[in-house]
Amino acid sequence: MRIGLVCPYQWDVPGGVQYHVRDLAETLRGMGHHVEILTPAVREESLPPDATFAGRTVPVPYNGSMASMQFGPVSAARVRRWLREGNFDVVHVHEPASPSVSLLVCMIAKGPIVATFHAATTRSKWLAAVGPMARPWLERISGRIAVSDFARRVQVEHLDGDAVIIPNGVHVEAFTHGPSLPGFARGRDGPTIGFLGRYDEPRKGLPVLLEAMRTVVRQHPGARLLIAGRGDAADLRELVGDDLRPHVTLLGELSEPDKAAFLRSVDVYCAPNLLGESFGVVLIEALAAGAPIVASDLDAFARVLEDGAAGVLVRRGDPGALGRALCALLADPDRRAELSEGGPRAAAAYDWAVLARRILAVYETVVPPDGTVVTAGEDDDFPAVPPARRQARTSPRRWAPR
């Protein structure tokens, strides 16, 4: 099958959707399919050989973070050329409700389109404003996927549709086996807590974890917090304060192998996130690496952690509760060992080899039997706004594999 994947966010800026598209493409190629990617990027030369540059983007607030807006005649021309040269059996766009190249593909493409919705925001100002206008384009989507029930609500509440739930994936084996980070090893040299994410993004909850660490170091004076990810190091040093500075190590942004090694190194992985999470891939990665987890009780995190069976859940935004949970787990080696042993088993259901087959089943329901490929629309200067429907219809469930 010839498959076109569309990533709406800049390829060379780390993010969950980018990783999802990358790993799905890699898995599908390993299964014998031809896969090409259309994506924006900061630098065109950063793209892999199988990716086509969709142009640069303008950052806009979306889902509590910054999304990539990309519209205009130049971008539309790139989309048309990619579609015409690709001869795709199916095009799979990601996050098509954002103002991005994914929505442009929905506006221009003629033929089978599958879409994956990632965002968990159900009260989106953008969707409330443009949803009625964009709905006719989004109704061209033949198969709809959501990474979680919370992402599915975007369909139900804003777009008068529905979606089959197929979660984000992880290459489980890459996290389960391998070395630790040099200088750090689980179970040695005092307890180590790990945090991974954009630490200057408020919704990731690092200030809550830092406050909780003050409780931790009083009970475990040798405890250390390893912080990995992107952000302003100067602001972080000010946030940490003099009292915690001896207990905090900033690792910076990690490569994929180093991220896996980091998760295999920590005694406890902590996810103190506050909002805006539709799934939580890093929790699956931590499970696969055998890291015991303490996480906020976000609905998406509770699902991944099996309502507390696969990890410890605490009330979000409560540094006292987080500190007590971390201290209790650090003081209980038997519980940590139990969680560490069960983590890879819990992660196995999210392995890409499993999930890619489910995504292929969605593709197969929308690809016509006559072999018609995806094409581009007319060569207008720019896609015209389609007339509004008199009545929004409920999207049929023709996408759901039986």
In this predicted structure, what is the pLDDT of residue 70?
A: 63
Q: Is 285 helix (H, G, I), strand (E, B) or coil?
A: helix
Which residue ranges does the chain devote to CATH 3.40.50.2000?
A: 2-169+351-376, 172-348
The per-residue pLDDT for range 34-78, each reduced to its tens digit, is: 999 999 999 999 999 999 999 887 765 555 555 556 666 788 899
In this predicted structure, what is the pLDDT of residue 13?
A: 86
Distance CA 206, CA 226 (A): 12
pTM: 0.81
Taking the CA of residue 398 as centre, how many other CA atoms within 13 Å lie in the half-sphere pointing to its CB? 16
Distance CA 306, CA 372 (A): 42
Distance CA 326, CA 314 (A): 10
Q: Dihedral of CA 115/119/123/125: which sign?
A: negative
Classify domain 2-169+351-376 at the CATH topology level: Rossmann fold (3.40.50)
DSSP string, 222-282: T-EEEEES-S-HHHHHHHHHHHHGGGEEEEES--HHHHHHHHHH-SEEEE---S--SS-HH
Q: Which two tokens stand for residue 123?
A: 């009260």
Taking the CA of residue 245 as centre, how many other CA atoms within 13 Å lie in the half-sphere pointing to its CB? 10
Q: Which two tokens stand for residue 164?
A: 């089959």
Q: Is 309 helix (H, G, I), strand (E, B) or coil?
A: coil
Domain 172-348, CATH homologous superfamily name and number: Glycogen Phosphorylase B; (3.40.50.2000)
Residue type, 175: F
Q: Which two tokens stand for residue 235?
A: 């602001």
Q: How confident is the model at residue 88 (pLDDT cuts 50, 70, 90)?
A: very high
The per-residue pLDDT for range 306-363, each reduced to its tens digit, is: 999 999 999 999 999 999 999 999 999 999 999 999 999 999 999 999 999 999 999 9
CB 161, CB 144: distance < 8 Å:
yes
Q: How far apart are the first and last CA of the chain?
A: 20
The per-residue pLDDT for range 367-385, each reduced to its tens digit, is: 999 888 999 976 544 454 4
